[in-house]
Chains A and B, each alone.
Chain A
Amino acid sequence: MGAYLRGIHTPHRKSTKKSPVIRIDIPETVTIPMSMHIGKPAVPTVKSGDLVKVGTKIGISDGYISSDIYSSVSGKVVKLTDYLMYNGATTTAVVIESDGEMTPDSSITPPTINSQKDLVDAVKEAGIVGLGGAGFPTYVKLNVDPERIDYLIINGAECEPYVTSDTVTMSTRTDDMILALKALNRYLGVKNVIIGIEKNNKKAAKHMKEMAASINDFSVKIQSLPDVYPQGGEKVLIYHTTGRKITANKLPIDVGCIVLNCTTIAAIGTYLRTGMPLVEKCVTVEGGAVKQPQNVIAPIGTSIKDLFDCCGGLTEQPAKIVYGGPMMGISVPNSDFSIIKNTNAVLALTKKEAKLPKTTACIRCGACVNTCPFSLAPVSIAEAYTKKNAAILTELAVLSCMECGCCSFVCPANRPLVQLNKLAKQFVNEEAKKEAQKQ
């Protein structure tokens, strides 16, 4: 392998690593959207007035790339409503009033696994999606020819500032992780597991080393990663753990790798042990405006307002409320939105934390070019996009951009570089579609 890929030194601000993890009081209502994953939204299977328990299926997956959805509380379905998601999409949401009991559904029993198919079905049934943030249905990744798998790479990089919920997983849910890894070894033939952890995350590394030591049937290795953002990017992680490069239009499995987030692994283990599908999530509640920042375990569908209240409330009007980390997270206009399967953090940033300098003229310093982990040229992409030149954009490999935001972070003129990259990607895809229709 060559040198490490470039990136940026962000502030860490991971104080919640030290504070205890708490469980939120049962919320009065939860709002569960039918689209908490990449792919087609689930179809609601309940109607207003239905009684549900914890783990009752309320949405059924629609198509191959989709996922089942379960109630996260016991109580009564109040309504099905059109719901604006934090990412701007509109979907149906099921609003459930909790009875305060949290009674589990009577059908919940641990699954019996005897083959790869059983395991894939179980992961599908558990409603598990990529919990690092992408939300890609996990069972699809496991539904491959076992011969093709050289490595299972566990993403424990957690490279975004503030976020520590994956560290919580790695230090408190190792038993479930072991259960999942053993199943993946037995039924998917996974023989080499590599866990990527940033070198400054000693807490996670310690627990993962203990876990690795307890597994003897197959190889589990900890790979220390540089503490440079973005280590958690899939292609970056694969390169830094195996030295393998994913070229354009290829998937991890094409280079013999499956990448799963550590929390996704733990969720698989929890389902195998208890039969309870994915109905709750550990979320880092942080930011300068949060009184007592900490990790909170909450039912899916809990509003972020309830999460803030559970952390002592807000000390000041936040300048920004962000889903996920500050580098790639999505900001929302208020705290009425609910947390979903792949939410790993909610942040209430103060004016000072969210301060961005004024955008001025590009001085051609080359900081963006010299920072891009994939050696793209954001400044040239921005120029080509402004001229709407799809051919040059393709030549500049804009579709390879992972939207990590390093270019915008370092730009001394605060140019909207990654923002224009995103638009340029969309533009190139649309142009390609038009081309295809012509032929």
Chain B
Amino acid sequence: MSSLTKVMVSPHIHSGKSTSGIMGDVLISLLPTTVAGTLIFGWRALLVVAVSVLSSVGFEALFNYIIKKEQTISDLSAAVTGLLLALNLSVDIPLWQCVIGSLFAIVVVKCLFGGIGKNLVNPAITARVFMVIAFSSVALPSFPIDSVATATPLSAETMPSLLDLFIGNRGGAIGETCTVALLIGGIYLIIRRVISWHIPVTFIGIVFIFSFFMEGFNATEAISLIMSGGLFIGAFFMATDYTTSPSTPWGKVIFGLGAGLLTCLIRYFGIYPEGVSFAILFMNILTPYINGWTRRKVFTAGGNK
């Protein structure tokens, strides 16, 4: 053999998993929700999605270009952030506010902290919280185009029917109303092993239990409440963000329970009608501590040295 072959330390094979593959799976899992949002709220929903995704990717590319960092947009994480942000916004939002939200999510929350994997809090959630506080229009509910529903359930006098809540025929952000689409996407992610069941199940479970007690042991009411607001999109897609949620199964359980409890406390006792975003944001900050508390015991630990 004439030429030399490459020498490298083992392992010499790889599972083939990649960051862009994982992010691609998340994009696929959000497809049903995006389609449902467009059907429920009309074509402008797609426009909001497009502006948000394009500006998110654009800002990341621009940031990397300016600080002369290797381009990272091909890992698709900026696209995921843009899509999640859009799905958390009202369909009537002015497009310039979308752009500002993307700028905040990508540049302030993510890139300034060092880019993917380095951010302390979830970019899309934090940008939504920022926008809720900065622009009143985000918090305003939007309404299905062909519906008689008049208000987002959590601030309304009467709740929509369970069927309407399940298929998303109610007021709310573009991607948070269609429970069935979110469930399909969430199950897809669990099957593909992108996320585990721990956070969504504990998060939604504790909200159900808490609401069940608060509503005087009314199961129908409790089911309505878990399908309201942004709980499903939050529990399956935002709270499971790798970087800002714990990595061990027990850590995930603590995270889910904490986020669920905070959501209920804000819903029942806070000044905002919805608390999912705030709850996740708060648990994001606790994540490094939860990781520390739930570190696994090393197999070879114990015994005398």
Q: Name A's B-contacting residues (CB within 8 A).
A: 5, 8, 10-11, 161, 235, 239, 245-250, 305, 314, 317-322, 326-335, 349, 353-357, 360-367, 369-370, 373-377, 397, 400, 405, 408-414, 416, 418-419, 422
Q: Which residue of A lies closest to B14 (CB)?
A: A356
Assess the A246–B10 pair: CB atoms within 8 A.
Answer: no
CB within 8 Å of A: which of B280-305?
295-303, 305
Q: Which residue of A lies closest to B21 (CB)?
A: A412
Main secondary structure of the interface of B (DSSP, over half): loop
Q: With A326-B13, A354-B13, A364-B247 in contact, do A413 and B4 touch (Cβ < 8 Å)?
A: no
Query: Contacts A249-B305, A363-B116 given; 4 further ones with Cβ under 8 A?
Result: A161-B13, A319-B6, A362-B117, A365-B242
A358 to chain B: closest CB distance in Å?
8
Assess the B5–A357 pair: CB atoms within 8 A.
Answer: no
CB within 8 Å of A: which of B7-39?
7-19, 21-22
Assess the A376–B298 pair: CB atoms within 8 A.
Answer: yes
Q: Which residue of B lies closest to A406 (CB)?
A: B11
Assess the A246–B1 pair: CB atoms within 8 A.
Answer: no
Q: Name B's A-contacting residues (CB within 8 A).
A: 1, 3-19, 21-22, 72, 75, 77, 115-118, 242-243, 246-249, 295-303, 305
A369: chain B residues within 8 A (beta carbon): 247-248, 296
Q: State which of A10, A314, A321, A365 has its C-beta within 8 Å of the C-beta of B13.
A: A10
A328: chain B residues within 8 A (beta carbon): 10-11
A421 to chain B: closest CB distance in Å?
11
Q: What are 11 A-B contacts with C-beta separation under 8 Å? A: A248-B300, A320-B5, A332-B7, A355-B14, A357-B16, A360-B18, A370-B248, A375-B298, A376-B298, A400-B298, A409-B11
Q: With A376-B298, A418-B11 in contact, do A321 and B247 touch (Cβ < 8 Å)?
A: no
Q: State which of A305, A322, A365, A374 has its C-beta within 8 Å of the C-beta of B299.
A: A374
A362: chain B residues within 8 A (beta carbon): 117
Q: Which residue of A lies closest to B16 (CB)?
A: A357
Q: State which of B7, B16, B72, B246 has its C-beta within 8 Å of the C-beta of A333.
A: B7
Assess the A331–B296 pair: CB atoms within 8 A.
Answer: no
- For the complex, what is the distance from the CA of A329 to the CA of B12, rounded to whole Å? 8
- For the complex, what is the distance from the CA of A322 to the CA of B21, rounded to whole Å? 28
Assess the A235–B300 pair: CB atoms within 8 A.
Answer: yes
Closest 8 CB pairs of A and B: A366-B247, A247-B303, A405-B11, A375-B296, A374-B299, A365-B242, A400-B300, A326-B12
B218 to chain A: closest CB distance in Å?
38
B4: chain A residues within 8 A (beta carbon): 333-334
Q: Which residue of B lies closest to A371 (CB)?
A: B15
B242: chain A residues within 8 A (beta carbon): 363-366
Q: State which of B3, B118, B295 has its C-beta within 8 Å of the C-beta of A377.
A: B295
Q: Which residue of A lies closest to B243 (CB)?
A: A364
B75: chain A residues within 8 A (beta carbon): 360
Q: With A245-B300, A246-B300, A365-B242 in contact, do A318 and B5 touch (Cβ < 8 Å)?
A: yes
Q: With A247-B301, A317-B1 in contact, do A331 and B14 touch (Cβ < 8 Å)?
A: no
B14: chain A residues within 8 A (beta carbon): 355-357, 408-409, 414
Assess the B115–A361 pair: CB atoms within 8 A.
Answer: yes
- For the complex, what is the distance from the CA of A250 to the CA of B75, rounded to whole Å? 44
- For the complex, what is the distance from the CA of A250 to the CA of B295, rounded to whole Å? 23
Q: Which residue of B lies closest to A377 (CB)?
A: B295
B298: chain A residues within 8 A (beta carbon): 374-376, 397, 400
A89 to chain B: closest CB distance in Å?
14
Assess the A333–B5 pair: CB atoms within 8 A.
Answer: yes
Assess the A245–B299 pair: CB atoms within 8 A.
Answer: yes
Q: State which of B3, B118, B247 has its C-beta within 8 Å of the C-beta of A361.
A: B118
Q: With A329-B12, A409-B13 in contact, do A334 and B118 touch (Cβ < 8 Å)?
A: no
Assess the B12–A349 pair: CB atoms within 8 A.
Answer: yes
Q: State which of B6, B10, B116, B117 has its C-beta within 8 Å of the C-beta of A329.
A: B10
B116: chain A residues within 8 A (beta carbon): 360-361, 363
Q: State which of B8, B247, B248, B303 has its C-beta within 8 Å of the C-beta of A331.
A: B8
Q: Which residue of B lies closest to A8 (CB)?
A: B15
A230 to chain B: closest CB distance in Å?
11
- For the complex, what is the distance from the CA of A355 to the CA of B75, rounded to whole Å? 18
- For the complex, what is the distance from the CA of A320 to the CA of B13, rounded to whole Å? 11
- For the complex, what is the distance from the CA of A273 to the CA of B301, rounded to whole Å? 43
Q: Which residue of B lies closest to A351 (CB)?
A: B6
B7: chain A residues within 8 A (beta carbon): 331-333
A320: chain B residues within 8 A (beta carbon): 5-6, 8, 12
Q: Which residue of A lies closest to B23 (CB)?
A: A363
Assess the B11–A327 pair: CB atoms within 8 A.
Answer: yes
